Amino acid sequence: MKLEAKLHEIKRPIMVLGTSSGAGKSLTVTAICRILKNLREEPIPFKGQNMSNNAWVDWEGGEMAYSQALQAFACGINPSSEMNPILLKPQGNSISEVIHLGKSIGITTARNYYQDWFAPGWEIIKKSLSSIYKKSPNCRLIIEGAGSPVEMNLIHRDLTNLRIAKYLNANCILVTDIERGGVFAQIIGTLELMKPEEKKLIKGIIINRFRGDLSLFEEGKKWIENKTKIPVIGIIPWLDDSFPPEDSLDLIEKKSRFANPEIKVGIIKLPSISNFSDFDPLENEESISIDWIKETQELRKYDFIIIPGSKQTIKDQLFLEKSGLCQDIREYANKKGNIIGICGGLQMLGTTLEDPYLKEGSQKNSVQKIKGIGLLPLKTTFFKKKLTRQIKSESLWPCKSRINGFEIHNGQTKLDNTQNESYIKPIFKNLNLGWYKENKKGGTIAGTYIHGIFENDNWRNQYINLIRKSKNLPILNKKLISYKRKRESIIDNLANEFDKHLNITSVLN
């Protein structure tokens, strides 16, 4: 039986819409997922279409947005690409990779996307919804919208917002960010642009990121309710959250939260950066501060440098050369610097990058083979098919430890036999997952394909102690606090704050 025939039997989904991008939809869904889990419901997150290079790989090897994976953790369940059936991964120049149910199926321009992919996209969304309800008939979907639901030039082909709300007859919450200003106009304007049958689905309004005394907004709350006839079900105070932003542009605004750090980390802000959630565990280390490096500079002030993953490795390597950062990194390595490259960062640390199928940012009929930074004797060739999988391995350096993570990459990396290979060693028992070398003058250069490497507590702690030892700082012997436990604590704190200020029961009917 099709899902349409059974919609009257399911628990009414909750859908979180926003008056704009960045209004707080993702964190609101995360909080609601944990609140409902604590109420012994069976919440499952869902976002029909997400555009993000911050990805996760599920246990079937399927790609999905990290934000939906985080929401699944908040529900206490394993992430699945069915929770985010369409993922668009931007490649620049209005071009995106299209991923359906975890698998890459094509490349599209923004101009052609809705013409070519709208109909199959809607079918894949309905297929995912049917599968979720078949596996979990008693669940309650907590659905995240995208951007604004009333972009009038796109609304007739919007796969993510009101189409899903109407299809599932969801109870919708409209979230607005008061920090941006113009909150009354945001709310009224959004509702006025909805059709009557769409507006009827809005069961509550949330005012997000309110600073100061919440009672000062009481008159504003009454005005909104009188004007819209919709209750304001929550005024959420400003929260010092430590979740990764969905948009890499937001990284520029991220500031370290801890005073007087003992270790300074510099992360190269690549134009096509991906999987920046890799660094969340470092953001939560009290002894560490993080700077995002966007332009050429003296890097000696940093105790270690990270070159992150990239959606367009060739393009980002050309950026490093053109900006002068490539030479900065080489000079830093020669001055006893410590460097870690992750995925695309590993590839860039090698000697050669070859892109015969133009998969990684080579210009058409132009660059196909370029030099890397040249700090590790490795060469990478990019093939047509992408590798996506969960990883379980054992590290050999800087300690012996069990390792979990995942891979997302096109390239295959091998030792460059034209170089001196004697000084490079494998980081893991799986020899093709990463390599390192110790400089004669001091410092280490390392690279790995494993996303989530810093989530491995013992490995992270031993690497940090390696850096601390080089600075003559005392070794951290404190009892390890698992990052995953920290993440759970962050989600709990988020849910508790929302629960204090949000009347969620009003939308559970």
Q: What is the CATH number of the domain that holds 266?
A: 3.40.50.880
Count Cβ neighbours within 10 Å for each residue of 257-274 and write b for 16 or more, e otherwise: eeeebbbebbbbbbbbbb
**Is residue 481 over pLDDT 90?**
no
Averaged pLDDT of the chain = 92
In DSSP terms, 141 is beta-bridged to: 44
In a domain, 504, yes or no: no
Q: Looking at the predicted structure, is the pLDDT value of residue 128 above 70? A: yes
Bridge partners of 388, per DSSP, are: 408
C-alpha distance from residue 368 to each of 120, 371, 385 (Å): 33, 10, 17
In single-letter form, the type of residue at position 282 comes to L
Say if 500 falls within a structural domain: no
**pLDDT the model gives residue 259:** 72
Pairing of strands 63-65, 86-92: unpaired
Residue 346 lies in a domain: yes
Question: With 0-12 CB in 10 A as exposed, 13-18 as middle and 19+ as buried, what is 367?
Answer: middle
Residues 319 and 189 reside in one and the same domain: no
Render pLDDT for 252-299 as a digit per residue (tens, 0 to 9). 455 566 678 999 999 999 999 999 999 999 988 889 999 999 999 999
Q: Look at residue 441 in the predicted model and tell me its pLDDT.
A: 81
* 215 located within any domain: yes
| Domain annotation covers residue 93 | yes
The torsion of the CA quartet 180, 185, 190, 196, rounded to 10 degrees, works out to 160
398 cis-preceded (ω within 30 degrees of 0): yes
For 358-397, the pLDDT digits (tens) are 888 777 666 789 999 999 999 999 998 999 999 999 999 9
Domain shared by 375 and 481, yes or no: yes
Asked if residue 185 and residue 130 are part of one domain, the reply reads yes
Q: Is the pLDDT of residue 46 over 60?
A: yes
Residue 494 in any domain: the answer is: no
Mark which of 238, 270, 287 sits at the end of a domain: 238
Q: What is the pLDDT of residue 373?
A: 98
The predicted structure's pLDDT at residue 8? 72
Quick count: other Cβ atoms within 10 Å of Cβ 182?
13
DSSP assignment of 43-66, as one string? EEEE-SEEE-S-EEE-TTS-EEEH
Q: Annotated catalytic, 172? A: no
Q: CA 73 to CA 76: how far, in whole Å?
A: 5
Domain finish residue from 173, 204, 238: 238
In 3-state terms, what secondary structure has residue 15? strand
Q: How many CB atoms lie within 10 A of CB 149?
A: 25
Q: pLDDT digit string (tens) for 329-354?
A: 999 999 999 999 999 999 999 999 99
- Tell whether 160 and 269 lie within a shared domain: no
Query: What CA–CA distance (Å, rounded) separates 184 from 217?
Result: 12
Same domain, 320 and 395: yes
Q: Are residues 399 and 369 located together in one domain of the fold?
A: yes
From 33, 343, 399, 501, active-site residue:
343
Any idea what the CATH number is for the domain that residue 140 is in? 3.40.50.300
Chain segment 431-452, per-residue pLDDT in tens? 999 999 998 888 999 999 999 9
**Same domain, yes or no, for 290 and 169?**
no
Q: Which two tokens stand for residue 62?
A: 């399927």
* Residue 501 included in any domain: no
Catalogue the long-range contacts made by 209-213 (C-beta closer than 8 Å, 24 or more residues apart): 209/24, 209/177, 209/178, 209/179, 209/236, 209/237, 209/238, 209/239, 210/178, 210/235, 210/236, 210/237, 210/238, 211/179, 211/237, 211/238
Residues 224, 345: one domain?
no
Whole-number Å distance between alpha carbons of 436 and 59: 28
What is residue 257's predicted lDDT score, i.e. its pLDDT? Answer: 63
Checking if the pLDDT of 243 tops 70, the result is no
Tell which phi-psi region holds residue 279, choosing left (phi > 0), alpha (psi between -120 and 50) or beta: alpha
**Domain that includes residue 335, residue range:** 248-486
- Pull the structure tokens for residue 382: 């990019």
Q: Is residue 495 part of a domain?
A: no
Give the pLDDT of residue 242.
59
Active-site residue, 451 included:
yes
Please check the confidence at residue 43 and state whether its pLDDT lies above 70: yes
The answer, yes or no, to whether residue 423 has pLDDT greater than 90, is no
- Angle at CA 506, nearest 5°, toward 505 and 507? 90
Query: In this structure, are 207 and 326 located in the same domain?
Result: no
CB-CB contact of 71 with 108 (8 Å): no
pLDDT at 488 over 80: yes
Asked if 259 and 248 count as a contact pair (C-beta separation under 8 A), the reply is no
Q: Report yes or no: 374 and 364 within 8 Å, Cβ to Cβ.
A: no
pLDDT of residue 341: 98
Grouping H, G, I as helix, E, B as strand and the rest as coil, residue 171 is strand
**Of the residues 191, 215, 238, the one at which a domain ends:** 238
Element containing residue 344 per DSSP (H, E): helix 344-349
Task: Give the number of other Cβ atoms within 10 Å of residue 295's Cβ.
Answer: 9
Nearest one of 496, 506, 491, 501 to 173, comparing CA atoms:
506
Looking at the structure, do residues 255 and 301 belong to the same domain, yes or no?
yes
Residues 206 and 154 in one domain: yes
d(CA 149, CA 194): 8
Per-position DSSP letters for 382-437, written without gaps between them: EEEEEEEEEEEEEE-SSS-EEEEEEEEEEEEEEE-TTS--TT-EESBSSGGGEEEE
Average pLDDT over residues 197-220: 95
Q: What is the total count of domains within the chain? A: 2
Confidence (pLDDT) at 458: 95
Tell me the whole-structure pTM to 2 decimals. Answer: 0.94
Kindly state whether residues 292 and 163 are assigned to the same domain.
no
